[in-house]
Structure 1
Amino acid sequence: MTSFRGLDVGEQGFGGMALAEVYGPADTEASLATLHHAVDAGIRLIDTADVYGGGSNEELVGRLLKDRRDEVVLATKFGILRTPDADGFRARGDAAYPRQAVQASLRRLGVDRIDLYYYHRVDPRVPIEETVGALAELVREGVIGHIGLSEVTASELERANAVHPITAVQSEWSIWSRDVEAQVIPTAARLGVGFVAYSPLGRGFLASPVTELPEGDLRRNFPRFQEERLAANAPIGETVRRVAEAEGVTPAQLALAWLAERGRALGVGVVPIPSTRRAERIDENLAAAGIRLSAEALAALEPLGALVTGDRARFVADISQGRERAEAADAAGNA
């Protein structure tokens, strides 16, 4: 059992985003059955966000919680506006917003407390100290149990943790998305902050071949999934499948086992939250627990992150990688 500041989250969680029609139409009852199977299989951490499906994903998780609240560590997020305001679609982090957002999430989820509440994206107009200070008030009131941050830089994490202990950072981390290893993860390890890895299977790329994407598939918006870049990245997936076969595991299990190995190597507690619509994929993913990869496998996988063509996000300034690039450019310009 993995624990972040006393919050027992298990070895692997479940990311709810795929159940919110971001990869095409989803069947609500089938999605609910998938959530029940995840809990039946032993998953404790269920991760959602107020923006997934315009709030419908929280409502779906709420149907699960109606009968199984005590079995679930509930995580959700706020900060990305669900509808545009006068300034358009953006992140919002002013002190008044966390209270407004959490009350709406509580209603959709049908609960009176959220175990782990994330600031989903940083509002560049608001000091992170202000946002975390507002979240700390919600902790003191018992509305939320723990504070999380998503896609923050190392310096933002440091500043936030000085206001109130941060329980977990959530960012993309996988064989082909390793930018967080440079600064964010060492800072999290030093501060005793857990790491929740979203898209640990590379949005499906590492689990099975991705050659073309259907209309409505969210991945069409990501640079590395656009046609020419996707073709250029194909050898990365081929290497993952070749190494998985040599290790006697599936590509998804290889990717999850690699993440566990990296967490141990870097001294940070890590819990991946792969997302799927299929119950059998949950079982496959959970079977990665305890797999130890050979030195040969780790050596073969090590260079893959540097071979990726295309950024991991459409709006790079919204993620930690983009702001760290900006910080580095500013430092170089001032040198």
Structure 2
Amino acid sequence: MQYNILKKSGLKVSQVSFGCMSLKADSVDNDVIISKAIEGGINLFDTADLYEKGANEALLGAALKGRRNDVLISTKVGNRWKPDGSGWDWCPTKKHILTAVDDSLRRLQTDHIDLYLLHGGTIEDPVDEAIEAFERLADLGKIRSYGLSSIRPNVIREYVSRSNISAVMTQYSLLDRRPEEATIKLLSNNEIGVLARGAVASGLLVDKPAKEYLDMTKEQVTSILKDFSNALPEGKSQAETALRYVVDNQAITSAVVGIRTLQQLQDALAGANTTPLNTAQWQALQELWEGNFYKEHR
């Protein structure tokens, strides 16, 4: 496993990290999967207070008990469940962030969060207020660093220019190359880490049948997937190649891979440990299609 540094925080992050969203609180395999992930070199585990109404944080906290010093925890804030549990509201206020962190710390059974991410964001948000909350939590020692989970270039630009964020989590894959045009270079130039989610494009780059994806028709996706299958480097599977396309982009700090089963963990570790794509192989994948662009929130 290779590791990269989130430069503004000093955190040393595994090139592939563990997205916990798919884990279910009633699964008996969670502890085994998380333990094997740590043994395999994964050291960043990402969750959110939104997932399963906090139960996802709780299961992660329980699984990491006694191993907290071996790992980094990333969780998210900004969505507030309605009292009747029927859904959630977007609430990026200073008051909510300062309150919600204590509930996350309790569920995670820890006294600090390594990376605290705002779970979304709009250009109409009280950005300075949210930043004040994160800075306050850092001063109190409740978080080590903070960032943003967003695909919106206009929101990302605001936080880059007005805050001390150390990372942005955003969707990125061979089928979703929008960040290449709008945000990856901006973040790299400002020494802000990029945590890429969705490396296998909801399974389309692995084994799921073609369907409409983003602004592409099923026929367009089918054509790209056929070319992708024909362009695999010798000795690499589709899953490994899709993951390497992401992590071998020098601007990417870590690929956050959603993991629910031991097989998915093994696939993620195989992709992390296989040889990197060389420049020619990576460029050949880029040339499979022209890429896509953000049409909104620019």
Instruction: Give the alignment's TM-score, normalised by structure 1.
Output: 0.78
Counterpart of 2:297 in structure 1 is 323
| 1:243 equivalent among 231, 234, 249 | 231
Would the aligned equivalents of 1:175 and 1:305 in 2 still touch at CA under 8 Å? no
Change (3 A) 1:115 1:296: closer
* Map 1:1-335 → 2, pairs under 5 A: 1-4=3-6, 5=8, 6-20=10-24, 28-83=27-82, 89-151=88-150, 153-210=152-209, 224=213, 229-230=217-218, 232-244=220-232, 246-261=233-248, 263-264=249-250, 268-289=251-272, 291-294=275-278, 297-304=281-288, 306=290, 322-324=296-298
In 1, Cα distance between equivalents of 2:279 and 2:181: 22
- Identify, as 1 or 2, the structure richer in strand: 2
Deviations 1:207-226 (A, max 9, x none): 223369xxxxxxxxxx6289
Change (3 A) 1:40 1:122: same
In 2, Cα distance between equivalents of 1:294 and 1:115: 32
After TM superposition, give the deviation of residue 322 of structure 1 in Å.
Answer: 2.9
SS of 2:63's partner is helix
In 2, Cα distance between equivalents of 1:150 and 1:321: 19
In 2, Cα distance between equivalents of 1:321 and 1:116: 29
After TM superposition, give the deviation of residue 15 of structure 1 in Å.
Answer: 0.6
Change (3 A) 1:106 1:230: farther
Structure 1 unpaired stretches of 5+: 21-25, 213-222, 312-319, 325-335
Deviations 1:37-93 (A, max 9, x none): 1112110000011111221111110111212111110000011233379xx744221
Which amino acid in the other structure matches residue 11 of structure 2?
L
- Identify, as 1 or 2, the structure richer in helix: 1
In 2, Cα distance between equivalents of 1:259 and 1:170: 13
Deviates more, 1:2-11 or 1:138-147: 2-11
Deviations 1:227-253 (A, max 9, x none): x94465233333333322x42111111
Change (3 A) 1:295 1:73: closer
SS of 1:144's partner is coil
In 1, Cα distance between equivalents of 2:28 and 2:133: 36
After TM superposition, give the deviation of residue 270 of structure 1 in Å.
Answer: 2.2
After TM superposition, give the deviation of residue 30 of structure 1 in Å.
Answer: 1.7
After TM superposition, give the deviation of residue 116 of structure 1 in Å.
Answer: 0.2
In 2, Cα distance between equivalents of 1:269 and 1:297: 17
After TM superposition, give the deviation of residue 306 of structure 1 in Å.
Answer: 4.3
After TM superposition, give the deviation of residue 176 of structure 1 in Å.
Answer: 0.5
Structure 2 unpaired stretches of 5+: none
Deviations 1:11-46 (A, max 9, x none): 2101111214xxxxx851123321221112110000
In 1, Cα distance between equivalents of 2:159 and 2:192: 12
In 1, Cα distance between equivalents of 2:204 and 2:256: 15
In 2, Cα distance between equivalents of 1:203 and 1:63: 28
Would the aligned equivalents of 1:50 and 1:57 in 2 still touch at CA under 8 Å? yes
Instruction: Give the alignment's TM-score, normalised by structure 2.
Output: 0.87
Deviations 1:112-160 (A, max 9, x none): 1100000011144423222111111000000111011111544533432
Which amino acid in the other structure matches residue 285 of structure 1?
A
Change (3 A) 1:69 1:190: same
Would the aligned equivalents of 2:138 and 2:145 in 1 still touch at CA under 8 Å? yes
SS of 1:203's partner is helix
> How many residues of Structure 1 are paired with residues of Structure 2 in the alignment?
291
RMSD: 2.8
SS of 2:121's partner is coil
